[in-house]
């Protein structure tokens, strides 16, 4: 029997497919054709069955699905470290919003998204869910890098450098959606910023558009205790209750942070099958609190992991988010078995894909799915011995160990080097905007 030709064969020491759960494959290979996984099988069988145009041998590596960053503000990478050690509202009102008022532009977002996208790819992130202004500029950047991205059609009630009012935000965002709707790697969400920055009228429009366009809704939700107190004062309802009354809660809702939740809030989210983007590092750094992640998972919600922006994190690093999420869950519940490594890895991959409605396409390594793959090297004495590669991914390794990344079967990083952009260009971008901020 003649071997079947395929585009790519990736051979590895271990493969963690995420589906089926509790599966780790040793000395297996992934066969890829036209951007899709066609088979995962033992090395000897793979070599006999397939004739690959390119074979990549990774004998000291573990392969995992590409990580899904369920919440970020990519362009804010240009403000990394600009205003640290401040609570959320002071951070926004005294530092972030004034800086954006002076500098936000198409060029700002394009350059910041290039810097962010490169950082994410280096760290094994192959999909990001972004919320920011000038989404057309972010699309240009992510398209150039070959990163899979879901871009927010952002809405606020107050003016910015991007738009004058709620109507203008929607008009411009929807135009970008129409211009990029056929791109294989670019998708969209409707992204009302938060309950405290969006009116009831705008939420009703968002709900109607979400149904019409079949788009997810991406929103900050219950991030701080102050947000909830203000909602009770202004609307007589907690934000989640208000959104339910407006018809916004549903399986297409991605609530970001969800830190301050009562049992009734959790029941509402569960009844409507909402998804949650958990951002543990940002929540700790801004002293927002610890989200009740184990209770959300117990109620069947799709809980993924997000980095938030580099201005409040200061890294777009899902290895760190996995580590922090697991440890924070154990600390906040007093249960050392809370959020074990396999569940945490699932949050960073398949759960994030499910929240975005992309779980039939990405989030696990299965035949028929897109070949979004992250290869992680385990050969440093400081990281050995390795008894369980899943535990190692969450508790031992960092993004520095990522060596190779594929998105849709196309290699985006090889042996630690990005293939679409140079460090020289990225350094130039960072220095240019740092100098502009100083002026």
CATH number of the domain bearing residue 24: 2.30.40.10
**Nearest alpha carbon to residue 124 among 397, 366, 340:** 397
For the chain, give the percent of residues with pLDDT over 70: 100
Based on the fold, state whether residues 44 and 180 are members of the same structural domain: no
- Could you tell me if residue 403 is inside a domain? yes
| Mean pLDDT of the 334-339 span | 97
Q: pLDDT tens across 128-147, in order?
A: 999 999 999 999 999 999 99
- Could you tell me if residue 390 is inside a domain? yes
The H or E element spanning position 338 is none
Based on the fold, state whether residues 345 and 388 are members of the same structural domain: no
Based on the fold, state whether residues 163 and 268 are members of the same structural domain: yes
Based on the fold, state whether residues 39 and 87 are members of the same structural domain: no
Q: For all residues of the chain together, what is the average pLDDT?
A: 96
pLDDT of res. 336: 97
Mean pLDDT lowest among 56-60, 157-161, 345-349: 157-161
Residues 46, 29 contacting (CB under 8 angstroms) = yes
- Could you tell me if residue 197 is inside a domain? yes
- Could you tell me if residue 423 is inside a domain? no
Based on the fold, state whether residues 149 and 88 are members of the same structural domain: yes
Residues 38, 367 contacting (CB under 8 angstroms) = yes
- Could you tell me if residue 422 is inside a domain? no
Based on the fold, state whether residues 78 and 223 are members of the same structural domain: yes
Based on the fold, state whether residues 191 and 323 are members of the same structural domain: yes
Residues 306, 69 contacting (CB under 8 angstroms) = yes
| Mean pLDDT of the 25-54 span | 97
Residues near 199 by Cβ (< 8 Å), separated by ≥ 6? 157, 166
CA 417 to chain centre: 21
Q: pLDDT tens across 303-335, in order?
A: 999 999 998 899 999 999 999 999 999 999 999
Based on the fold, state whether residues 132 and 30 are members of the same structural domain: no
Question: What does the alpha-carbon distance between residue 286 and residue 89 come to, in Å, rounded to a whole number?
Answer: 9
Residues near 122 by Cβ (< 8 Å), separated by ≥ 6? 399, 402, 405, 413, 416, 418
Based on the fold, state whether residues 60 and 73 are members of the same structural domain: no
- Could you tell me if residue 421 is inside a domain? no
pLDDT at 253 over 90: yes
Residues near 38 by Cβ (< 8 Å), separated by ≥ 6? 6, 31, 32, 367
| Mean pLDDT of the 223-252 span | 96
CATH assignment of the domain containing 265:
3.20.20.140
Residues 177, 154 contacting (CB under 8 angstroms) = no
Based on the fold, state whether residues 40 and 108 are members of the same structural domain: no
Domain count, the chain: 2
Question: What does the alpha-carbon distance between residue 224 and residue 286 come to, in Å, rounded to a whole number?
Answer: 10
Q: pLDDT tens across 53-75, in order?
A: 999 999 999 999 999 999 999 99
Based on the fold, state whether residues 189 and 310 are members of the same structural domain: yes
**Nearest alpha carbon to residue 32 among 429, 383, 411:** 411
- Could you tell me if residue 20 is inside a domain? yes
Domain containing residue 399: 4-65+369-408
DSSP string, 240-258: HHHHHHTT--STTEEEEE-
| Mean pLDDT of the 380-384 span | 93
Based on the fold, state whether residues 108 and 241 are members of the same structural domain: yes
Q: Which of 355, 389, 418 is the last residue of a domain?
A: 355
**Nearest alpha carbon to residue 300 among 243, 358, 351, 242:** 351
Phi, psi (deg, nearest 5) at residue 350: -65, -40
- Could you tell me if residue 107 is inside a domain? yes
**Nearest alpha carbon to residue 340 among 330, 353, 355:** 330
What pTM value is reported for the model? 0.97
Question: What does the alpha-carbon distance between residue 117 and residue 109 come to, in Å, rounded to a whole number?
Answer: 11
């Amino acid at each position: 029997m003649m071997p079947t030709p395929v585009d790519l064969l990736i051979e590895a020491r271990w493969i963690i497919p995420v589906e089926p759960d509790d599966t780790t494959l040793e000395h297996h290979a992934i066969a890829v054709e036209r951007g899709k996984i066609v088979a995962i099988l033992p090395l000897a069988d793979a070599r006999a069955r397939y004739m690959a145009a390119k074979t990549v041998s990774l004998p000291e590596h573990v392969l995992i699905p590409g990580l899904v960053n369920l919440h970020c503000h990519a362009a804010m990478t240009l403000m990394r470290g600009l205003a640290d050690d401040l609570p959320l509202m002071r951070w926004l009102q005294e530092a972030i919003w004034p800086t954006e008022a002076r500098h936000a532009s198409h060029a700002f977002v394009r350059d910041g998204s290039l810097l962010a996208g490169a950082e994410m790819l280096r760290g094994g992130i192959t999909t990001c869910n972004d919320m920011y202004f000038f989404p057309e500029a972010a699309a240009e950047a992510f398209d150039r890098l070959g990163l899979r991205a879901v871009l927010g059609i952002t809405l606020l009630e107050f003016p910015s450098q991007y738009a004058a009012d709620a109507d203008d935000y929607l008009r411009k965002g929807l135009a970008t959606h129409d211009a990029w709707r056929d791109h294989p790697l670019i998708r969209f969400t409707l992204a009302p910023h938060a309950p405290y920055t969006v009116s009831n009228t705008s939420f009703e429009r968002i709900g109607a558009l979400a149904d019409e366009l079949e788009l997810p809704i991406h929103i900050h939700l219950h991030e701080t205790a102050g947000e909830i107190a203000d909602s009770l004062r202004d609307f007589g309802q907690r934000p989640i209750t208000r959104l339910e009354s407006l018809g916004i809660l549903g399986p297409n809702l991605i609530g970001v942070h969800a830190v301050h939740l009562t049992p009734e809030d959790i029941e509402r989210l569960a009844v409507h099958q909402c998804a949650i983007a958990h951002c543990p590092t940002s929540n700790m750094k801004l002293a927002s609190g610890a989200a009740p992640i184990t209770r959300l998972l117990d109620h069947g919600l799709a809980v993924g992991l997000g980095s938030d922006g580099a201005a409040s994190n200061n890294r777009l690093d899902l290895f760190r988010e996995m580590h922090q999420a697991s440890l924070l869950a154990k600390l906040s519940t007093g249960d050392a078995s809370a959020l074990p490594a396999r569940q945490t890895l699932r949050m960073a991959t398949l759960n994030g894909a499910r929240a975005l409605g992309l779980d039939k396409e990405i989030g696990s390594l299965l035949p028929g799915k897109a070949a979004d793959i992250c290869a992680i090297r385990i050969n440093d004495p400081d990281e050995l011995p390795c008894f369980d590669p899943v535990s190692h991914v969450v508790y031992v390794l960092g993004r520095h160990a990522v060596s190779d990344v594929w998105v849709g079967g196309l290699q985006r990083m090889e042996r630690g080097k990005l293939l679409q952009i140079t460090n020289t260009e990225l350094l130039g971008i960072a220095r240019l905007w740092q100098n502009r901020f100083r002026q």
